[in-house]
Amino acid sequence: MADLAPDDYSLERVKQNNSHFSHDPKTGHFVLDPSTLRTTTVDKKQARDQRAAKLAEEYYDFVSPMYEQGWSQNFHYTPLSPGLSIADSMTKYEQDFAKIAGLKKGMKVLDLGCGVGGPARNLARHLGCEIVGVTNNAWLVERGQALTETANLNHLVKHVLGDFMHLPFEDSTFDAAYSFEALCYSPDVSVVYKEAYRVLKPGGTLAFHDFAMTDKYDDHSAEHRKIKNWIEYGNGIMRMPHVQDMRDGLKAAGFGQTIFHEEDMGNRSAPGPWYFGPAGNFFWANNWADLVKVFLMSPFFLFFIANRIYQVLIFLGKRPKEVKMVMDTMWYCCRSIAIGGKLGIFTPLYMFAARKPDHEDKRG
């Protein structure tokens, strides 16, 4: 991780990220200040939005190097395709996603929450469209630019520092916008959808897949609530949206009558489930690279190997105690996602595609 980490990467980043949460030993939940979840005034709403942005930025500051080395430059899950590795399944999935979204050569496309730009480079290379990626994390911009330059795609892919809740672009700038597992970091997804609506040209398309609690999620179930809470904590999300929140948000943004695709893309995964990696299921691995990915995400590695090694190193004074926070966070991330996926109450791959009406008076 050291060769990828930003210059100011330190355990202070870990402390900052975890400081947003406090642990309740009675329930096992990680608790955010309730005032950040419900707002009654403009000032409180702005404070909540700022805290959500800060939480997401600090989370990705300290996990991005691990994601890139342990998973890939594409910071999202993928449905498996028969006979393909995780990496090849991901490439195929992104191209299938782009086909549904209607992305084509010659378009100017916005990537909302672009990470280090893995999907943008794949789609720009495959389609020949111009892609502008926006993220609120300075290190992701710097790292993404370096990777794009190495791939000789500077003429097609740009990386911009900005907040997707307040996009730094003029109205009606883009032919299309897309996102992979990023919009859920907003405390109110409708705000991001409205911003996407604003910067899209009339007739432009917004397509995304995102983390969501499905219609099988029961808020009256203590088990379901705990899993949801652990997913939020392990992934640095302030408030996990429900699928219905997405539908309502798109309607509020102006896309209500123009949704042309809605699907849990995780259901396309075959022969194995999309969550086989975080579940630590080696059976569905197609090559050595897959085996390594699954091993690094498995509860066996995170709890019985990495955690134990760091406990010894901390005891010997070779590592500061805050290192354990990193391992704990990754454990909650992987275990909660695997359990939520198995129960069918959570998916990271819920897709919507909608079109901005050609005329503003059709909004609704």
- Helix ranges restricted to H, the chain: 11-18, 42-70, 86-101, 118-127, 138-150, 189-199, 222-235, 243-250, 288-297, 299, 307-315, 323-343
Q: Give the pTM.
A: 0.81
Domain spanning 11-20+32-274+340-362: CATH 3.40.50.920: no
Strand pairing category for 157-161 and 130-135: parallel
pLDDT of residue 122: 95
* 228 Cβ contact partners less than 8 Å away, ≥ 6 residues apart: 213, 217, 240, 340, 345, 346
Cβ atoms of 319 and 311 closer than 8 Å = no
How do residues 8-38 score in pLDDT, each as one tens digit?
A: 434 454 445 444 445 555 555 545 444 443 3
Cis preceding-peptide flag for 82 (omega within 30 of 0): no
Is position 181 annotated as part of the catalytic site?
yes
- The whole-angstrom separation of Cα 170 and Cα 39 is 28
* 255 Cβ contact partners less than 8 Å away, ≥ 6 residues apart: 193, 197, 206, 354, 355, 356
What average pLDDT does the segment 152-165 reach?
A: 96
Cα distances from 132 to residues 8, 169, 356, in angstroms, run: 26, 11, 19
- The whole-angstrom separation of Cα 18 and Cα 5 is 18
CA dihedral 291, 295, 300, 303 (to 10 degrees): 180
Which one of the listed residues 57, 68, 94, 181 is annotated catalytic?
181
Left, alpha or beta for 12 (phi > 0: left; psi -120 to 50: alpha)?
A: alpha
- The whole-angstrom separation of Cα 206 and Cα 296 is 34
How do residues 65-94 score in pLDDT, each as one tens digit?
A: 556 565 555 778 999 999 999 999 999 999
Q: Which residue has the higher pLDDT, 289 or 100?
A: 100
How do residues 98-138 score in pLDDT, each as one tens digit?
A: 999 999 999 999 999 998 999 999 999 999 999 999 998 88
- The whole-angstrom separation of Cα 32 and Cα 48 is 11
